[in-house]
Amino acid sequence: METASGQNASREFVRAVPRLDGMVVSAVGYRTAAERPGLHRGVPSPYLTLIFSLDGPVVGGATPEQAGGADACRTDIVLGGLHQSPAYVVRPEHEAGIQLAVHPLAARALFGVPAAELGGDLITSGAEVMGRSATEVRERLCGQGGWEERFAALSGYLRRCAASDDGGSVRPEVAEAWAWLARHRGAGTIGGLSRHVALSERRLTALFRAETGVTPKQAARLMRFQRARTAIVRSVAAGAAPDLAGVAADCGYYDHSHLVRDFRQYTGTSPTGWVAEECRNIQAGSHGGGEE
């Protein structure tokens, strides 16, 4: 387990190493206090988002206006699918919770549905999908005093979900397609992928979208963007200005402008704008260097 705090003791981020056979990619516990209220951008990634709030509901929406309005989504457990645009989340004066990045092909095992069924809303009530057991484990997490206890309880709960295994199985062609994209870090061609899994591009796209909610091309872009964002986070955490042109080249972008295009789509702002917004969180350890 790794703990990181910012200069202000009211910002705490604790990272745990998931031990769930690759189903969970990262786990972060967070607690902040005395914050200036505002909006946080929930950035798309090639992973599903699962949040158990320990201090009031998570409030957000697809736009800043929705997040701050009467029709905002309010839920104590967030379960988000793969998306192509940011979610806007209200940042209250104080908050606490645990956020997990879940492999999309683990959705059937952990949640009983394919990841494609989680992509309708940017912020989905996890209790509606996962049932009463999720609400009960959240109540247990709220009553525990330490992060290690909370991570252990949550891991145990997810292992029990996986053991029940009532969500059906992922088609092997889709599982191999995802693995191939991950090995190529989102830089492989869709033609090469379809030949690798011995399916036409059209058939592969249909099966892949039905399972994950995105096309192979969209998944590749998310992987590329995740890798670029990770590189930028590491530079900022080390106290250096990120070399965006170098990041673009290293991460398989055609040029710097294509990296900027993806940042604007996925974050709603430029790379420098996103870094300016997130610099304090990065330095405090909330991004943890990113996941790959």
Do 154 and 182 lie in a common domain? no
Output the pLDDT for position 194.
Answer: 97
Predicted structure pTM score = 0.91
Digit-coded pLDDT (tens) for 128-159:
999 999 999 999 999 998 999 999 999 999 99
**H or E element, residue 156:** helix 147-164
Residue 22 — φ and ψ, nearest 5°?
A: 80, 0
Which region holds residue 90: left if phi is over 0, alpha if psi is between -120 and 50, else beta? beta
Q: Are 124 and 79 in contact (CB under 8 A)?
A: yes
- The whole domain housing 274 covers 170-292
Q: Indicate which CATH number applies to the domain containing 65.
A: 2.60.120.10
Dist CA 127 CA 135 (whole Å): 6
Digit-coded pLDDT (tens) for 5-16:
545 557 889 999
Task: Tell me the two tokens of residue 11.
Answer: 């910002």
Do 148 and 83 lie in a common domain? yes
- The mean pLDDT value of the chain amounts to 91
Dist CA 189 CA 153 (whole Å): 41
Do 155 and 228 lie in a common domain? no
Do 26 and 97 lie in a common domain? yes
Do 156 and 176 lie in a common domain? no
End-to-end CA distance of the chain: 18
Q: Indicate which CATH number applies to the domain containing 262.
A: 1.10.10.60
Number of domains in the chain: 2
Digit-coded pLDDT (tens) for 37-65:
889 899 999 999 999 999 999 999 999 99
Do 176 and 253 lie in a common domain? yes
Do 139 and 11 lie in a common domain? yes
Do 26 and 156 lie in a common domain? yes
Output the pLDDT for position 36.
Answer: 85
- DSSP state, 197? H
